[in-house]
Structure 1
Amino acid sequence: MRTAAPLPLAVHPLTREAFAPYGEVVEVSDAVRHFTINAGNTERYHDLANIEPGPDGRVIVSIFRGQPRSLPFTVQMMERHPLASQAFVPMSGKPYLVVVAPAGAPPAAEDLKVFLARADQGVNYATGVWHHPLLALEGVCDFLVIDRSGPGHNCDEVQLDRHGVIEAL
């Protein structure tokens, strides 16, 4: 039975370095390999995420339409995909929140880390990393999602014994 008050969760800017334990940030940056293609007309930012389809899986591309969340927001559950990675690339030009916890045992509220992603930043959750489902903020938001289709159970959900709360940005 949950008796503890919700744990306030700080919101951090999403950076490649801070997010590295959970996967990759998908963004245009001088820190990533890039080069000119198409007779000088296009700059290619190359190989930004380790897309892992897992055993007998195949990579699929979908669009998820997330409904906006209001703050304060209570984080009550987390999910993970034990067989494959899952990438989210925003398409609506709006910032959003990312809540993660390390791969492994089901997380506690104290394990959660919250990032504010800019409208031009995507994320690729590494295989097995705990994360909260979409947290759109400023209206309905579409995301291009690159993940796995294939045999086997690839989504675990857990309810947190103690909730976390995101009070403000």
Structure 2
Amino acid sequence: MVLRISASSRVIRAEVLDPTAFAPFGEVIQNPATHSDTPNLRRMEANQGSATKWLDVTKMRDWYGLGQSRKPAEVAMNMFVCKPRQLEKKDGRDVFPVRILERHPFTPQTFLPLGIDKAAGTCYLVIVAPTLPLRSRKSSEETLEPAYPVPPPRRKRSLRERLLGARPNLFTNDFSPSTTPAEPTSSGPRPKGPGLPDLQNIRAFIARGDQAITYGAGTWHAPMVVLGERAIDFVVVQYMNGMAIEDCQEVDLGAESDGDGLAVDVDGPIGQGTARARL
């Protein structure tokens, strides 16, 4: 079931993709030798000195242990052939209407474009949103079934447990080990959480052909949007366990009654129009 939420009528401006601006949502993969804005990465020589190896350019972590099914996930590598999207005109400018957002609750997702030069007349638009705090399990968010898991409240420890550090009493045999499932062993940034997308702080970035991106686990984002003259082949890497609701969750963005809904301006100084050469 896809949840439908209302989006106010407004147009946001696309930004040029750079790692610092995109950091709250994931990682930008690009050659540090040709992109001065790349965060510091470790490097080493490889292939008998004929190659430079940059270490840990992105992080793929499996968080499916947090899912309700506890079904293990495997790495999936798929190819998406994404055609250019149809744009609309608003006040004489090219805009892309945002009608749907999705997230992959327990896995990062990396998009690797193939065969697109940075100077080509094709680029792609990355649309992302922060995650709102979960208000209540009695709210409309329950319609994302089964609900994205929320850690159970911590049980208040008894005085005895606090004094013993929750360890077995050496003089009795009445200690019972915890039945709480163990947390996944993945480290690093945790999934974004169970809340709905924050549409007031949605952002959009235009990526060149020599840039790849990784959405952080649970990051709300639009399906891939290709701009320009030709399709882009993307190799997409993520974890999947075959449980549809755990692999992907979606919300439809419906326009409020008096507006056109949410759109991204891809024209002008940083978008598809006059500054294509700058990208």
TM-score (norm 2): 0.56
Following the alignment from structure 1 to structure 2, what is the Cα–Cα distance between the partners of residues 3 and 154? 25
| Residue 28 (str. 1) matches residue 31 (str. 2) | yes
Aligned-residue CA RMSD (Å): 1.9
1:116-146: per-residue Cα shift (whole Å, max 9, x none)?
1111111111110000011111221111111
Gaps of 5+ in 2: 34-39, 65-71, 88-94, 117-121, 132-192, 256-260, 272-279
1:140-169: per-residue Cα shift (whole Å, max 9, x none)?
111111111214321110012443212321
**Which residue of structure 1 aligns with residue 200 of structure 2?**
110
| Residue 39 (str. 1) matches residue 44 (str. 2) | no
| Residue 141 (str. 1) matches residue 238 (str. 2) | no
Q: How far does residue 53 in structure 1 lie from its aligned partner after superposition?
A: 3.0
Q: How far does residue 108 in structure 1 lie from its aligned partner after superposition?
A: 4.4
Following the alignment from structure 1 to structure 2, what is the Cα–Cα distance between the partners of residues 17 and 151? 33
Following the alignment from structure 1 to structure 2, what is the Cα–Cα distance between the partners of residues 88 and 161? 27
Following the alignment from structure 2 to structure 1, what is the Cα–Cα distance between the partners of residues 250 and 226? 20
Task: Letter of the 2:213 partner, please give it.
Answer: V
Give the length in aligned residue pairs: 168
Do the aligned partners of residues 79 and 34 (structure 1) sit closer, same or farther apart at CA in structure 2, a change above 3 Å counting?
same
CA contact (8 A) 1:108 1:161 kept: no
1:69-95: per-residue Cα shift (whole Å, max 9, x none)?
133210011000011110001113142
Following the alignment from structure 1 to structure 2, what is the Cα–Cα distance between the partners of residues 3 and 130? 15
Tell me: higher relative CO, structure 1 or 2? Use CA pairs within 8 A at least 6 residues apart: 2
Q: How far does residue 32 in structure 1 lie from its aligned partner after superposition?
A: 2.2
Following the alignment from structure 2 to structure 1, what is the Cα–Cα distance between the partners of residues 199 and 86? 19
Q: What is the aligned counterpart of 1:156 among 249, 258, 271?
A: 249
TM-score (norm 1): 0.90
Q: What is the aligned counterpart of 2:81 among 65, 68, 73?
A: 65
CA contact (8 A) 1:99 1:131 kept: yes
Alignment of 1:47-126 (within 5 A): 47-55=56-64, 56-71=72-87, 72-93=95-116, 94-103=122-131, 104=193, 105-126=195-216
Do the aligned partners of residues 36 and 108 (structure 1) sit closer, same or farther apart at CA in structure 2, a change above 3 Å counting?
same
Q: What is the aligned counterpart of 2:219 among 123, 129, 137?
A: 129
Name whichever structure is richer in strand by fraction.
1
Structure number with bigger Rg: 2
Q: What is the aligned counterpart of 1:10 among 6, 9, 13?
A: 13
Task: Letter of the 1:150 partner, please give it.
Answer: N
Q: How far does residue 21 in structure 1 lie from its aligned partner after superposition?
A: 0.5
Following the alignment from structure 2 to structure 1, what is the Cα–Cα distance between the partners of residues 52 and 102? 35
Do the aligned partners of residues 3 and 91 (structure 1) sit closer, same or farther apart at CA in structure 2, a change above 3 Å counting?
closer
Following the alignment from structure 1 to structure 2, what is the Cα–Cα distance between the partners of residues 3 and 145? 29
Task: Letter of the 1:154 partner, please give it.
Answer: D
Following the alignment from structure 1 to structure 2, what is the Cα–Cα distance between the partners of residues 70 and 130? 22
Following the alignment from structure 2 to structure 1, what is the Cα–Cα distance between the partners of residues 7 and 53? 51
Q: How far does residue 47 in structure 1 lie from its aligned partner after superposition?
A: 1.2
Name whichever structure is richer in helix by fraction.
2
